[in-house]
Amino acid sequence: MTTKSLADLPDTIFCNIIECLDWCEVARFDTALLDRNMRNGYLVALKLRKVKVERNEFWSQLVEKGILNWLISRNIRVVSWDSKVDDTKLMTIATGLPQLQSLNISRCHNITDEGIRALATGCTQLQSLNISECGNITDEGIRALVTGLPQLQSLNISNCRNITDEGIIALASGRTQLQSLDISNCLKITDEGITALATGCIQLQSLNISGCDKITDEGIRAVATGCPQLQSLNIGCCRNITATGRVIAKRINNRK
C-alpha cells in the first residue's frame, strides 16, 4: 500500500509525528492542514501534550507573536508557564489555561492585584506560584490567592515590598496546604505575620525570611513551635535576630 500524503497515515503514526515537532514547526503545520480528518487527528495529538512554557528566547518570541491565544484556541494543555506577562496576558492565561499547575511571572513589574484576582478565579489547579519582584502586588492580591487557589503548595513573594503583615495573616488563615513560602526582602513583615504563619500554616516545610529586618527571635520561636514539619529556614541578613534566634534556626535546619 502506497501512502500518498500525511492524511493517509494511521492516527497513531500521525500523532507520533506531531509529538516530534517543535512549536515553530507545529504552528506552520497548523496553517497547512486542510483535510478535516487529518486536522482532527493532529489536534488530538496536541491535546495529549503537556506543554511547559519556559523563560528563554524561543518562547519569548512565540509569546510576543501571540502563541498564548493560539494555545488556547487549540485547547492545548499547558501545565507550566514561566515567561514574562502583563496584566492583560495574565487575565488571558486565567481564562484560557484552567489546567495550569505552575506559574512563574517573577520580575513582571506591570502585574497588579487585578491580574492576581483574575488568576485566582481562573487557575484553581495552581500548585506553585512565583510572583517575586512584582512590586505592584499588595495585600489585596494575597487575599485573592487565599480564596481562589485551594491547591497552592509553593508561593514565592520575595521582594514584593507592598505586602505587609495583613497579607501574611490572610495567607495563614486560609492556606493550610502551603509547604514552601519565600517572603525574603518583604521589609514590612514583622513578628506578627510570622506568628500567624506558625498558627495557620502547620504543613510548612521551607520558609525564607532573609532580609526581613523587622523579624526577631520571637518570630523564630513561633515557627519553631508551630511548624513541626519545617526543615529549612533561611534567616540571612535578618539583623534583629540574635544569637539565640540563630541557634533555634539551626535546630530547625537540622531536622532533616
Predicted pLDDT of residue 241: 98
Q: Which of 53-57, 111-115, 225-229, 232-236 has the lowest mean pLDDT?
A: 53-57
57 and 23 within one domain: no
Q: Give pLDDT tens digits for 100-158.
A: 999 999 999 999 999 999 999 999 999 999 999 999 999 999 999 999 999 999 999 99
Predicted pLDDT of residue 32: 56
Domain-located, residue 242: yes
- Among 112, 134, 156, the domain boundary falls at 134
Q: Give pLDDT tens digits for 27-49.
A: 666 655 545 566 666 666 666 56
Domain-located, residue 151: no
Predicted pLDDT of residue 65: 82
41 and 55 within one domain: no
Percent of the chain whose pLDDT exceeds 90: 70
Predicted pLDDT of residue 61: 84
Predicted structure pTM score: 0.85
Domains held by the chain: number: 3
81 and 40 within one domain: no
- Among 134, 153, 180, the domain boundary falls at 134
Domain-located, residue 146: no
Domain-located, residue 143: no
113 and 68 within one domain: yes
Q: Which of 8-17, 84-93, 139-148, 246-255 has the lowest mean pLDDT?
A: 8-17
Predicted pLDDT of residue 236: 97
Domain-located, residue 126: yes
Model confidence at 2: pLDDT above 80 = no
Predicted pLDDT of residue 43: 61
> By residue range, what is the domain housing residue 23?
9-48
Domain-located, residue 142: no
- Among 134, 156, 190, the domain boundary falls at 134
Region 62-87 average pLDDT: 89
Q: Give pLDDT tens digits for 149-207.
A: 999 999 999 999 999 999 999 999 986 799 999 999 999 999 999 999 999 999 999 99
Predicted pLDDT of residue 6: 53
Predicted pLDDT of residue 29: 62
57 and 44 within one domain: no
**CATH number for position 237:** 3.80.10.10
55 and 42 within one domain: no
Answer for the pair 187, 160: CB distance below 8 angstroms, yes or no: no
Model confidence at 255: pLDDT above 70 = yes
Other beta carbons less than 10 A from residue 47's beta carbon: 11
Model confidence at 3: pLDDT above 60 = no
Region 66-81 average pLDDT: 88
234 and 181 within one domain: yes
Answer for the pair 15, 44: CB distance below 8 angstroms, yes or no: yes
Share the mean pLDDT of the chain: 88
Other beta carbons less than 10 A from residue 236's beta carbon: 12
